[in-house]
Amino acid sequence: MKAIVFSEDGEIASQMVNYLKGKAEVIASTLTEEKEKCIRAGAEKLYLLSGIAEPENISEAISEIKNATGADYIFIGSTANGRDIAGILSAKEDMKPISEITSFEINDGKATVTRFLYGGKAVSTEETSATLYVYAPGISESARAESDTPTETIQLKEPSVKPESEEPKTSGGVDLEKAKIIVSVGRGLGSKEGLGIAEELAKKVNGEIAGSRPVCLDYHWLSEDRQVGLSGKKVKPKVYIALGISGQIQHIAGIRGAKTVIAINKDKSAPIFEECDYGIVGDLFQIVPKLISAL
């Protein structure tokens, strides 16, 4: 079995290359600037895509790689661009897609996957004939092989739509998928000023700060790369401390891998209390300072 793995994030590509090792002959692809994160992932070959990258021209390049290598399967990392690329490829290559897989096994030519359904409400394990998969970041640790993978560069075609100007995305440069302790904040924080208390707690426990979608995407109290959940990062820390997060299913979809979840919320009927190991009902602005001084 031959598989192409693509993500525009070299680290996410590298995780899947490592995951598929021993199951398939893996051909990796990422953007040229992500080369270093992927070159020692242990793929048979690495295709680097160079130029202005958009889902349209990336999907064309992946089709080229498929034709050149005769790969049976394509795996695309689940990022905002990745999901667009998979959609285009599915139509273009007439490949049946499966989204958000968290595991992939193949026996006697039959694939079995685990994936989230209904926006993260359910997890399904199923046999499938699909050949195009969108995989969840964090599916595996990334590994480093002894030597560099042979590479080939593909020049991306000029995109049909070009941005007039670009604004750099705000990024905290954080690797939440690897964090052992996470202090995560929700709308219950009330304002950006409330962050101070969460940051103090994070410092005490040597943790990383993360947030729910409104906090990262709507209010920009935190950078987008700190969003946890279905459309954010899937994290697996030893301890996840949720402050003022209601626990909607789309948030929970990102913390299923957490070992211990501790929640503080002033509403005793908040759904987070169904999902946590330890829950404290109360105002976070009263409880967190007590926790900090106790620590």
Ligand X SMILES: Cc1cc2nc3c(=O)[nH]c(=O)nc-3n(C[C@H](O)[C@H](O)[C@H](O)COP(=O)(O)OP(=O)(O)OC[C@H]3O[C@@H](n4cnc5c(N)ncnc54)[C@H](O)[C@@H]3O)c2cc1C
Give residue 59's Cα distance to chain centre: 19
Which one among 42, 137, 188, 237 touches ligand X, defined by CB under 6 A? 188
Binders in 106-135 for ligand X, by CB under 6 A: 119
Cβ–Cβ under 8 Å, residues 95 and 74: yes
Q: Look up residue 217 and give its DSSP letter.
A: I
Instruction: Choose the binding region for ligand X from 65-73, 78-86, 103-111, 240-248 (rule: CB under 6 A).
Output: 240-248
Cβ–Cβ under 8 Å, residues 96 and 111: no
* 283 scored as a contact of ligand X (CB under 6 A): yes
Residue 241 CB, nearest approach to ligand X (Å): 12
**In terms of CB distance, is 13 or 255 closer to ligand X?**
255
Binders in 12-71 for ligand X, by CB under 6 A: none
* 264 scored as a contact of ligand X (CB under 6 A): yes
Cβ–Cβ under 8 Å, residues 42 and 145: yes
Rounded CA separation 46/42 (Å)? 9
Rounded CA separation 91/133 (Å)? 13
Which one among 55, 97, 138, 232 touches ligand X, defined by CB under 6 A? 232
Which one among 139, 245, 261, 291 touches ligand X, defined by CB under 6 A? 245
Residue 245 CB, nearest approach to ligand X (Å): 4
**In terms of CB distance, is 71 or 215 closer to ligand X?**
215
Helix ranges, 189-237 (H): 195-204, 213
Residue 44: count of CB within 10 angstroms of its CB: 15
**Sheet hosting strand 122-128, strand order edge to edge:** 122-128, 110-117, 97-107, 132-135, 73-77, 2-6, 25-31, 45-50, 151-155
Which one among 179, 209, 227, 279 touches ligand X, defined by CB under 6 A? 227
- Tally the C-alpha atoms within 13 A of residue 212's C-alpha that lie toward its C-beta: 20
* 99 scored as a contact of ligand X (CB under 6 A): no
Residue 210 CB, nearest approach to ligand X (Å): 9
Rounded CA separation 249/233 (Å)? 14
Residue 25 CB, nearest approach to ligand X (Å): 33
Longest dimension (CA), the chain: 61
Residue 229 CB, nearest approach to ligand X (Å): 2
Residue 112 CB, nearest approach to ligand X (Å): 26
Residue 226 CB, nearest approach to ligand X (Å): 11
* 273 scored as a contact of ligand X (CB under 6 A): no
* 82 scored as a contact of ligand X (CB under 6 A): no
Cβ–Cβ under 8 Å, residues 55 and 7: no
Q: Which backbone phi and psi does 60 adopt, to 5 degrees?
A: -65, -40
β partners of residue 123: 116
Q: Which backbone phi and psi does 84 adopt, to 5 degrees?
A: -65, -45
Which one among 174, 266, 273, 292 touches ligand X, defined by CB under 6 A? 266
Rounded CA separation 15/9 (Å)? 10
Which one among 14, 102, 131, 248 touches ligand X, defined by CB under 6 A? 248
**In terms of CB distance, is 82 or 229 closer to ligand X?**
229
Binders in 199-218 for ligand X, by CB under 6 A: 212-215
Rule CB under 6 A: which residues touch ligand X? 119, 186-188, 212-215, 227-232, 244-246, 248, 250-251, 254, 264-267, 270, 283-285
